[in-house]
Amino acid sequence: MSMIPRKDLLDIASLTNEEIEFVLANAVPFKDLFKRSVKKVPTLKGQTVLTLFYEPSTRTRSSFEVAANRLSADVTHFDIESSSVVKGESVLDTVETLESMRVDYIVVRHKQSGIPGFIAKNTRASVINAGDGWHAHPTQALLDAFTLREKFKDLRGARALIVGDIQHSRVARSTSLIFRRLGMHVAYLAPGSIMPRETPPEIPRFGNWDDAFAWKPDVIYLLRVQSERMDEPFFPSASEYHKNYGLTDARVEVLKERGLWLMHPGPVNRGVEITDQGMNYEKSLINQQVENGIAVRMSVLYWLKPGAIES
Amino acid sequence: MSMIPRKDLLDIASLTNEEIEFVLANAVPFKDLFKRSVKKVPTLKGQTVLTLFYEPSTRTRSSFEVAANRLSADVTHFDIESSSVVKGESVLDTVETLESMRVDYIVVRHKQSGIPGFIAKNTRASVINAGDGWHAHPTQALLDAFTLREKFKDLRGARALIVGDIQHSRVARSTSLIFRRLGMHVAYLAPGSIMPRETPPEIPRFGNWDDAFAWKPDVIYLLRVQSERMDEPFFPSASEYHKNYGLTDARVEVLKERGLWLMHPGPVNRGVEITDQGMNYEKSLINQQVENGIAVRMSVLYWLKPGAIES
Amino acid sequence: MSMIPRKDLLDIASLTNEEIEFVLANAVPFKDLFKRSVKKVPTLKGQTVLTLFYEPSTRTRSSFEVAANRLSADVTHFDIESSSVVKGESVLDTVETLESMRVDYIVVRHKQSGIPGFIAKNTRASVINAGDGWHAHPTQALLDAFTLREKFKDLRGARALIVGDIQHSRVARSTSLIFRRLGMHVAYLAPGSIMPRETPPEIPRFGNWDDAFAWKPDVIYLLRVQSERMDEPFFPSASEYHKNYGLTDARVEVLKERGLWLMHPGPVNRGVEITDQGMNYEKSLINQQVENGIAVRMSVLYWLKPGAIES
């Protein structure tokens, strides 16, 4: 059982089961460190982790920064908002600059799918995709899986209902994939206009909560509504979305009765995806997702090997 | 003499005399470290200090950052300018995120009074108020007191005149309080429109410098004029403010003759609160306030105990 | 051979040959560290390096930050974009604040020539000029020289052609100077409107590539076209610039035939200074310039002595 050293984490699809298992298993001792008040380990001492965010994201960036600090790495921000990208400077030129600076890890977010993979091909640094367009957000998926594994003895057969803008969500894509790789059943609930045209036949698609609840989910995974999408014609208004697809207080009651787990990648739009009362639901795992994000990202940084040859 | 462990620093009013004494006394050896060229101590190694600034402030943020670095803590910025606060995401949701990330200290600035206290109730992290609305700016008050204690054998009976926009100043509020707690006499000089309606009867209120000088102050503490307030009807123009309430060259002469100390929380608006010549006044403590800010903030970080139960 | 301790690096002109040699020579072992996978040395442990950028620059700032981290210094950003400079707060007041915070190094960029020198006079901290107006960019010059010294056994007699907006370029100024100090010959190629009126008589000035190539350069050093300058009447359009002064594919062929080295301070405007094909030219040193920037900046930080008296 020797894994091939892996340089990059680009998506869930390219991971072997063994690799998923490795990352999830090693996140456990990293999480335990904090319980034992060990705040910092010297694992990545002297290594440079660079964040390259073409889209701003305080939460994800901070989560990686704290994870890297706890491994004793140095963190540098090289963030380039889309609006200020220097005309004529390609992503490739930026990557060659970073490659020349010999950074060890590049954590990248970009609105265009595939950019992290393109970067990975052009650097010896380990590239971690922190979200690219509609494509993938693999560390979110890994932390989601880790969080559920703390609650289920065996994930096989567990049923997750993913709710919201499936079509445009990299979270939906990556998290669905890892849930299914771990033996779970996945279903989608979304307005027809933002339900993908083609989905795997094993994934049931629902248009309303009654049908979705009848599928008997164990976990409700709400996607974040992107407010900038609210203006688009195929998207209902915030209040209409809430009424039809949000977790209203009445629906929270169903969760309570059945004891279902609740997840959301954050930040929540209160009153849209979920009500205030829903945020206080005792089986909500939202804060545990954030907490586990640190340990899982530590595990990913620990696992990847800068300079490894991709097979 | 055992102090109850304290989790948060929210304002001066809630501190015991013993706690004020503890913070001021411990700032002395922290300041001495630099004189002895010891640049860094391992006190907070592995601890995470997070800055959460809803209002930008390069100076205060940097002062906390340098203080934390010198205690070997890791510093992460999670700054959210008011303009970009995600609609629908409450402060509570942000705090729950930070709580889940298990940061140890949250240094918070917000334009609304009371937000740091609200945050403190919802996290195990130690919360330090770096300025909330008109309410409080306790580390400024502590560094002001520390700076004067270096000049006066005994602060009891010393007289400080605070000048400017008393009404809207959290600095005025916190610094007045600590000065009086340490046995000083405090008076206010301000245009009537920005003098608070109600002040403690022990604090004389003056409308012009002649009356104020007649009170025989030992220390002149100028408040910063907020330029955004210049447009408001109850505020004179910058030049009128300077003429009536600023430290003109003629008034600097009075300070010189009497040997009075001069303070200002910075940054100074030259030509408004004070002239260029006033900035060169030899008994100005403005730069010493900045320098002492590092040692006092180190002392505060050292004193607070993340996770302590508030009594 | 004892050098006088130097506090600041403001420009190339004020350096002795011995100092230039010291910085270039010490950059070699710093570069070697990485080859030997030593990522970090404790040289500046506990020292504070503060960046004070009045103009944004992700690349230069990151290069200094990584260099400082690798010397185990703490890095704090105190960046003030021109637009947000507080009205009434002078550079001097900011410097007095930093001086009071007892930072050890200030890395400063400002659009106005001479500001770093002004700052240096008012602080005990070591000031490193990271670019001031049209004046100087000495660490760029040092890394350029270092990069060429890796390629030439002896720089004396080597010939560098500098191409572009000579008039407004601090890079042209500093890099010309160091090249000539190291015994190289330098020539300029530029549109007449942006060729300086007065240049040293030893520097030939060309108006077209044919004449410039006839001078038999060994190194082609392209300057970055500042896009904001494109609107000015004395500057040709981007496409006209490219046609007349850029490195077209035909001119790249000349470089190939003759085996000339190619340099650029970055970031490149593809299609303006250079074509895509030119970027792939095998004797391009552009990425090596970036890489060497880290080692050279480490060497500069190592060399300067905060608190030293300037002679």
Q: Which residues of B touch A38 (CB under 8 A)?
A: 46
* Residue numbers belonging to the annotated binding site of B for L-aspartate: 87, 170, 224
Return the pLDDT at C197.
86
Return the pLDDT at A85.
52
Residues of chain C with confidence (pLDDT) below 50 = 82-84, 87-88, 311
Residue C134: count other Cβ atoms within 10 Å of its Cβ.
Answer: 19
- Any idea which fold A17-137+291-303 has? Rossmann fold (3.40.50)
Q: How far apart are CA A130 and CA B100, in angstroms?
A: 19
Nearest to B34 among C96, C99, C102 (CB): C102
**Length of chain B, please?**
311
DSSP B77: E
Return the pLDDT at B160.
98
| Contact at CB, A269 and B99, closer than 8 angstroms | no
Domain ranges (residues) in chain A: 17-137+291-303, 152-284
| Contact at CB, C66 and A76, closer than 8 angstroms | yes
Return the pLDDT at C89.
60
DSSP A83: G
Cβ A128 vs Cβ A9: under 8 Å: yes
For residue C173, count CB atoms less than 10 angstroms from its CB and return exposed for 0-12, middle for 13-18, buried for 19 or more.
Answer: buried
Which residue in chain A is spatially nearest to C73 when comparing CA positions?
Answer: A74
The bridge status of strand B205-206 relative to strand B219-222 is: unpaired
Helix H, strand E, coil C: the string for C40-103 is CCCCCCCCEEEEEECCCCHHHHHHHHHHHHHCCCEEEECCCCHHHCCCCCCHHHHHHHHHHCCC
Which band of pLDDT confidence, cut at 50, 70 and 90, is reported for residue A231? low
pLDDT > 90? residue A230:
no
Residue C230: count other Cβ atoms within 10 Å of its Cβ.
Answer: 14
| Contact at CB, A78 and C69, closer than 8 angstroms | no
| Contact at CB, A100 and C287, closer than 8 angstroms | yes
- Distance between A88 CA and the closest CA of chain B, angstroms: 28
The answer to whether A267 is annotated as binding is yes
pLDDT tens for chain B, residues 1 to 311: 568 899 999 999 999 999 999 999 999 999 998 777 778 999 999 999 999 999 888 899 999 999 999 999 999 999 786 444 554 468 889 999 999 999 999 999 999 999 999 999 999 999 999 999 999 999 999 999 999 999 998 999 999 999 999 999 999 999 999 999 999 999 999 998 889 888 899 999 999 999 999 999 999 999 999 876 666 776 778 889 999 999 999 999 999 999 999 999 999 999 999 999 999 999 999 999 999 999 999 999 999 999 887 54
Contacts with C237 (C-beta within 8 Å, 6 or more apart), sequence order:
C230
Q: What is the CA angle B260-B262-B265, rounded to 5?
A: 160
CA distances from B92 to A57, A167, A203, B122, B145 (A): 18, 30, 35, 8, 33
pLDDT (tens digit, 9 = 90+) per residue, A143-195? 999 999 999 989 999 999 999 999 999 999 999 999 999 999 999 999 988 89
Q: Which residues of B touch C90 (CB under 8 A)?
A: 270
Cβ C209 vs Cβ C260: under 8 Å: no
Q: How far apart are CA C146 and CA C21, in angstroms?
A: 10
Locate all alpha helices (DSSP H) within chain C, ordered by sequence: 17-35, 58-70, 91-100, 115-121, 138-149, 170-181, 209-214, 238-245, 249-258, 276-279, 286-303
Please provide residue B269's backbone torsions phi and psi, each rounded to the nearest 5 degrees: -90, 100
Q: How far apart are CA A198 and CA A176, in angstroms?
A: 14
Return the pLDDT at A87.
47
Q: Which residue numbers of A have CB closer than 8 Å to C's CBs?
A: 45-48, 50, 74, 76, 78-80, 86-90, 93-94, 96-97, 99-104
ipTM given for this complex: 0.90
- The H or E element containing residue B256 is helix B249-258
CATH superfamily of B17-136+291-303: Aspartate/ornithine carbamoyltransferase (3.40.50.1370)
- Any idea which fold C152-284 has? Rossmann fold (3.40.50)
Q: How many CA atoms lie within 13 A of A89 on its CB side?
A: 19
Cβ C294 vs Cβ C33: under 8 Å: no
Mean of per-residue pLDDT scores for chain A: 92
Instruction: Kindly report whether the peptide bond that precedes residue B267 is cis, defined as omega within 30 degrees of 0.
Output: yes
Q: Which residues of B touch C52 (CB under 8 A)?
A: none
Contacts with B133 (C-beta within 8 Å, 6 or more apart), sequence order:
B110, B111, B112, B113, B114, B115, B170
Return the pLDDT at A83.
45
Return the pLDDT at C231.
65
CA B20 and chain centroid, separation: 14
Return the pLDDT at B36.
76
| Contact at CB, B88 and A268, closer than 8 angstroms | yes
The bridge status of strand C48-53 relative to strand C74-77 is: parallel
The answer to whether A170 is annotated as binding is yes
- The H or E element containing residue A185 is strand A185-189
The bridge status of strand A74-77 relative to strand A219-222 is: unpaired
| Contact at CB, A48 and C66, closer than 8 angstroms | yes
Cβ A229 vs Cβ A165: under 8 Å: yes
Return the pLDDT at B80.
80
Contacts with A167 (C-beta within 8 Å, 6 or more apart), sequence order:
A134, A190, A194, A195, A196
